[in-house]
Amino acid sequence: MAYLSAQQRAEREKHWYSELGGLLATAPDLSVAQLAPAALTWVGRVNALLLEMGETLLAAEFKFAFDRRLGTQLDSPVSMAEKMRTPMYLALGIAERTAPVTSRGAYIPVGSAHDALIAISAVLGNAAKDVFIIDPYMSQVVLNDFALSLGEGVSLRLMSGHKKTFPDLEPALRAWRQQRTTRPVEVRIAQQATLHDRVIIIDGNAWSLSQSFNALAKRSPATLQPFDPEIGFLKCAYYEDVYTAAKVM
């Protein structure tokens, strides 16, 4: 767009995919006739992002569908809701192609367990030394479904909350240690109130996961996004301190 310099555009391209995926994951119910102020704000953000990306035709399709929501019986809120989502998915595909791998993240639709496995495994597979996963509601799913994505010798640290940890995590940990001696794992249990996020830290780089591993995309879409470097640094420092004080399982 004209208001973005080449340097600004290159920097913004890194975030378009994750931002659009985040908007899709937090989409309000567009099928109701009267949208709440928060839903209207969401519509404005989508429109602005599509324009910033230079996708003027997709932005026009999105706005046309929004404008026609209360037009006729054929142009009902229900039918237009799907037509509002379509240009977003088309723009998401374009943004994915231009985003750097390190900034790409993932948007995981509802019911897409395999997509979740692929997306998170791709991130975990980049680890060279250490992976630290924080999930306040951790279960065996982390070990049974995702941990084998790590390379041999990469250490894995898991931290969950003392009130919400699933009882199946401990036997899964024992079985893992007995069989996989070249894949070190340590689990610690922290005070529930100290765990505010679901975070994956890979060699010091922090990623945000919108849902717990055991519930990924089961009822609503999920997103996996890299934190802004400055925020990521603060997240790493905070959770390292929590981990130090947590109880070893």
- Domain co-membership, 186 together with 202: yes
| Domain CATH number, residue 185 | 3.30.870.10
What pLDDT does residue 104 have?
60
106 contact partners, CB below 8 Å, separation of at least 6: 21, 115, 119, 120, 122, 223, 224
- Domain co-membership, 136 together with 228: yes
- Domain co-membership, 124 together with 154: yes
pTM for this structure?
A: 0.67
- Report DSSP letters for 125-169, one per residue: TT-SSEEEEE-TT--THIIIIIGGGSPTT-EEEEEEETTT--TTH
- Domain co-membership, 138 together with 235: yes
Domain range for 22: 6-101
Q: Is the pLDDT of residue 100 over 50?
A: yes
Final residue in a domain of this structure, among 83, 101, 119:
101
Q: Is the pLDDT of residue 2 over 50?
A: no
What pLDDT does residue 1 have?
47
Domain contains 1: no
d(CA 3, CA 150): 42
Final residue in a domain of this structure, among 68, 101, 134:
101
Quote the mean pLDDT of the chain.
86
Count of CB atoms situated within 10 Å of the CB of 89: 13
- Domain co-membership, 85 together with 203: no
Question: Contact, 133 vs 156, CB < 8 A?
Answer: yes
What pLDDT does residue 103 have?
56
- Domain co-membership, 39 together with 74: yes
Q: Angle at CA 9, nearest 5°, toward 6 and 67?
A: 130
- Domain co-membership, 97 together with 160: no
- Domain co-membership, 79 together with 140: no
Domain contains 19: yes
Nearest to 244 by CA among 123, 159, 156: 159
Sheet arrangement for strand 106-108: 106-108, 222-226, 205-209, 199-202, 130-134, 155-161, 185-190, 247-248
Domain contains 139: yes
Nearest to 204 by CA among 100, 96, 99, 102: 102
- Domain co-membership, 133 together with 240: yes
Q: Picking from 181-185, 222-226, 237-241, which range would have the lowest pLDDT averaged per residue?
A: 222-226
d(CA 95, CA 99): 6
Q: What is the mean pLDDT of residues 3-28?
A: 76
Domain contains 154: yes
pLDDT digits (tens, 9 = 90+) for 116-173: 788 788 888 888 899 999 999 999 999 999 999 998 889 999 999 999 999 999 999 9
- Domain co-membership, 42 together with 136: no
121 contact partners, CB below 8 Å, separation of at least 6: 146, 149
- Cα 38 to the chain's mean position, in Å? 21
Hey, is 56 helix, strand or coil?
helix
User: Which residues pair with residue 240 across a beta bridge?
Assistant: none
pLDDT band at 69 (very low <50, low <70, confident <90, very high): confident
Domain contains 239: yes
pLDDT digits (tens, 9 = 90+) for 17-28: 777 877 887 788
Final residue in a domain of this structure, among 49, 80, 101:
101
Domain contains 186: yes
Q: Picking from 11-25, 194-208, 231-245, which range would have the lowest pLDDT averaged per residue?
A: 11-25
What pLDDT does residue 134 have?
97
- Domain co-membership, 161 together with 223: yes
| Segments in the chain forming alpha helices (H) | 6-25, 37-52, 56-67, 77-98, 101-104, 113-124, 141, 169-179, 229-245
Domain contains 244: yes
How many residues are recorded in the chain? 249
- Domain co-membership, 124 together with 206: yes
Looking at the 3D structure of the chain, how many domains does it have?
A: 2
